[in-house]
Structure 1
Amino acid sequence: MTERIVVLGVSGSGKSLIGKKIADKLGYPFFDGDDFHSQANVEKMRQGTPLTDEDREDWLATLNALLIDNPAAVIACSGLKPEYRTILRKGLDDVTMIYLKGDIDTIWQRHQKRDGHYFNGRDMLESQFATLIEPTESEAFTIDISQNADAVLNQALTLLAHP
Structure 2
Amino acid sequence: MGVAGCGKTSVGEALARTLGWAFIEGDLHHAPASIAKMQAGQPLADEDRWGWLDQLGQMLRTQAPVVLSCSALKRAYRERLRAARPAVGFVYLDIDKPLALQRVAARAAAHIFPASLVDSQFATLEPPTGEPGVVTVPAALPLDEQVGRALALLAAHPSQETDA
TM-score (norm 1): 0.91
Residue 31 in 1 paired to residue 29 in 2? no
Partner of 2:68: 75
Structure 1 residue runs of 4 or more that deviate by more than 4 Å after TM superposition: none
Deviation, structure 1 residue 118: 1.1
Deviation, structure 1 residue 89: 1.2
Partner of 1:3: none
For each residue in 1:17-50, what CA deviation from the matched residue of structure 2 results, as whole angstroms up to 9, or x when unmatched? 0000000011110001000001000000000000
In structure 2, stretches of 5+ residues that fail to align are 158-164
For 1:93 and 1:51, locate their aligned partners in 2 and report how far apart those are by CA, in whole Å: 26
One of 99, 106, 126 as aligned partner of 1:133: 126
Residue 160 in 1 paired to residue 161 in 2? no
In structure 1, stretches of 5+ residues that fail to align are 1-7
SS of the aligned residue for 2:86 comes to coil
Partner of 2:44: 51
Deviation, structure 1 residue 147: 1.4
TM-score (norm 2): 0.91
For each residue in 1:90-144, what CA deviation from the matched residue of structure 2 results, as whole angstroms up to 9, or x when unmatched? 143211111000100011111121131110123x110010000000233411111
Partner of 1:18: 11
Aligned CA RMSD, in angstroms, stands at: 1.1
Partner of 2:162: none
Partner of 2:101: 108
18-27 vs 84-93, greater mean Cα deviation = 84-93
Read off the aligned partner of 2:27 and give its amino acid letter.
Answer: D
Partner of 2:111: 117
Residues paired across the two proteins, number: 155
